[in-house]
Chain A
């Protein structure tokens, strides 16, 4: 029975020769040439694109491009930060003819995106995060990010007015600079209301670990935290667990208010639609794409969720005033005199780091008032 399907050695040689010829042909005449008229933009997400979080924020940005004339969007979700993402990028370039790729997750950059940059010098790659460096990395790569720490500062202002126990909670994934800046900003925002407030942070060690995030939220609330926020890929579990325990929530990445309409105060959201539109406009106009793109609330890279019903009058007033102040630009969250929670001076009297300060992108400390450690 099985004999019918067995190949003779000669058949095998013939078949593989034909296969090799086909492979050569497709290398010589890339399929991409057939589609040169329209530009294809590729988006790669590390998780599901409707996760109420990081990936949803990017996918909403990608979705906003779909109406633009001459632009087609290809997406792939649940791509691990391994050699898998290289295969995804190769297939987007070779099969879909993508000329601009946004690998959106932190761990895609090194070595995966850099390897693809070297292999496809004609394709542009822009990575979400702060990793690109003019001296070290190729010019067809680049990075874009938003100063969302400002949003966490505003979260902190509202949280500071709302908390009764004077204890806030923060569920964080990994102690990288962007996460640390968010934690510090959240606490400093709250301390602008009442300098006695502290913030307890729990690191889960991974971007997406549903059970551990729920345990962390419970542990924070057990210790008396009554306003909780987070920096994990999908805040859904944290929001639902905290609301279930009766704590208030400040959102992150996207608007989570539908999950807990009564307990949701406000949230720091990405507005990637604005950023992706900028890149695509340059692409259509034939202009070189910027390699280093940053922006904050004033630039429309970041926005705040509408204030929830539990936000009081005083909080509303200070929130609006602070937001107006930030919209002018040049606001600094980290300003002296300020110490880390280990006692080291991070900013001396009169020293201030504005949101654009590049020093903030290598932050490695938690400020005084944050209970937690970076390792």
Chain B
């Protein structure tokens, strides 16, 4: 193995590489949640969907030898979880947050149950595109090895941002999310729209899970997510329900998460627990700076149970 001494350049490079490597599950889960929340529902169960997606992707990839089939399986499993959430929540007096928490526990539990036999075997990985091939430095090549799902996630963020503003479907989702009464007056059924929006959100979260188990870190263990699904749900509020904001916030979290290990690797070893807390401290600062006592958060859908 050839190595080049890159010294302190390792820190920005690790943050760039980390942003690309770590952010993808955040991107998919937060985009999925953005669709669901724009339609007026909150699905806190995406953590469970993420873990179940990771498990089902890995299991199917092991059994069929194809990571792409694994990806499809994860998306389908996520779709089922989302539709289930949407279906239960259409009944009167059902609280979407409580159902979400129940589904989160159910999803992780079910994934642990079915995932037992798949902890040991190795599954094929999703492919990556070597954007760093122009460089002679192996560290740069490694950092710029970009997985296709990251690119799809980036494209999806732009597409959703455009679609919410410019398409009929986008308008329908937004109307249902802002005022169920207005939607009914237009002849729309809010429950159907929300059912589909939650289903799509679940499918995207499942794909995020597939990235975890099939690319980075690239194996199925029961601790694979460690709360990333919940963080991604919080990112949506942080990003003010804007898909481009979700993408940026996910990158920020990925990069900040790489800061701790990178600083230790160049010899800044004191106080690493503090560096590990960096993403959360950053979130707090931004939330405080952008909050206001006199108005609700900009971009908040009117029908959300937390803003009503």
Contacts and interface: CB of A to CB of B under 8 A. Distances in A.
Q: Do A and B bind each other?
A: yes
Given A236-B219, A241-B217, A247-B1, A210 B224 contact: yes
Contacts of B273: 205
A214 B142 CA distance: 13
A51 B221 contact: yes
A226 interface: yes
B221 A48 contact: yes
Interface residues of B, number: 46
A211 to B, nearest CB: 6
A214 B216 contact: yes
Given A210-B221, A259-B122, A226 B1 contact: yes
B226 A236 contact: no
A216 B261 contact: yes
Contacts of A278: none
Nearest to A246: B1
A212 B212 CA distance: 12
Given A222-B139, A222-B142, A212 B261 contact: yes
Interface string B67-109: 0000000000000000000000000000000000000000000
Given A203-B272, A210-B224, A218-B142, A52 B14 contact: no
Given A226-B1, A372-B264, A215 B142 contact: no
A201 B18 CA distance: 19
A372 B142 CA distance: 24
A36 to B, nearest CB: 33
Contacts of B4: 224
A245 interface: yes
B265 A222 contact: yes
Contacts, number: 135
B261 A208 contact: no
B269 interface: yes
A223 B223 contact: no
Nearest to B117: A50
A375 interface: yes
A215 B120 contact: no
B226 to A, nearest CB: 6
B206 interface: no
A213 B262 CA distance: 12
Interface stretch (B5-13, B38-46, B177-185, B239-247): B5-13
Interface string A297-334: 00000000000000000000000000000000000000
Contact of A202 (B212, B223, B265): B265
Interface string B128-155: 0000000000010011000000000000
A215 B257 contact: yes
A40 to B, nearest CB: 23
Top 7 A-B residue pairs of the complex, sorted by shortest distance between their CB atoms: A373-B269, A219-B265, A214-B217, A216-B261, A219-B261, A246-B1, A202-B264
23 contacts: A47-B223, A50-B120, A52-B120, A78-B112, A205-B272, A208-B223, A208-B226, A209-B223, A210-B224, A211-B217, A214-B216, A215-B260, A216-B261, A218-B14, A218-B261, A221-B3, A222-B10, A222-B143, A223-B10, A236-B219, A240-B217, A240-B219, A247-B1
